[in-house]
Amino acid sequence: MKMKKTKYLLGLFVLASFISCSNTKSESFGTKVAQVSIARVDSMPNMPSPYKIIDWEAKAKSFDRFTFDWNNKSEVGNLIWLDDSRRNVDQTTFGLYTALKDVRQGKDANNGEFHESLNSLAALLGAGLVGIDKTNQDGYNYVKMIQNYFNTENGWNIVMNNTNPKVAMLGGGYGRDWWYDVFPNALFYAVSDVFPNVEGAEQIQRTVAEQFVKADSILNGNYDYSYFDYAQMKGMVNHIPLQQDAAGGHAYVLLCAYHKFGDPRYLKHAKSAVEALVNQKESRFYEILLPLGAYTAAYLNATEGTNYDVKKLLDWTFDGCTNPDGRYGWGIIVGKWGDYEVNGLQGSITDGGGYAFGMNSIKPAWPFVPMVKYQPQYAKAIGKWMLNNVNASRLFFPQNIDDKHQWAPELKNLTDNNISYEGLRKADDYGKPELKGVEPVAIGDGPKWAKGNPTESMFSVYSSSPMGIFGAMVRETNVEGILQLNCNVTDFYAERQFPTYLYYNPHNEEKTVRFETKQPVDLFDIVAKEYVSKNISSASDFKIGGNDARVLVVLPAGTKLAVANGKIIADGKYTISYQ
Distant-in-sequence, close-in-space partners of 431: CB < 8 Å, separation ≥ 6? none
Q: What is the mean pLDDT of residues 212-226?
A: 97
pTM score over 0.85:
yes
pLDDT value at residue 26: 52
75-105 tens-digit pLDDT = 999 999 999 999 999 999 999 999 999 999 9
Beta pairing partners, 570:
561, 574
Q: What is the mean pLDDT of residues 462-480?
A: 98
DSSP 117: H
Interior CA angle at 492 toward 489 and 498, to 5°? 55
Distant-in-sequence, close-in-space partners of 162: CB < 8 Å, separation ≥ 6? 113, 114, 115, 116, 117, 149, 168, 172, 174
Domains observed in the chain: 39-473 (1.50.10.20), 497-577 (2.60.40.1180)
pLDDT of residue 24 exceeding 60: no
CA dihedral 373, 374, 376, 381 (to 10 degrees): -90
Average pLDDT, the chain: 94
Q: What is the mean pLDDT of residues 437-442?
A: 98
CB burial of 342-376 (b: ≥16 within 10 Å; e: otherwise) equals: bbbbbbbbebeebbbbbbbbbbbbbbbbbbbbbbb
3-state SS record for 304-334 = HCCCCCHHHHHHHHHHCCCCCCCCCCEEECC
Determine contact, residues 52/392, Cβ cutoff 8 Å: no
pLDDT value at residue 326: 87
| Amino acid at position 248, single letter | G
Q: What is the mean pLDDT of residues 477-481?
A: 98
126-183 tens-digit pLDDT = 999 999 999 999 999 999 999 999 999 999 999 999 999 888 878 766 558 899 999 9
Q: What is the mean pLDDT of residues 529-552?
A: 96
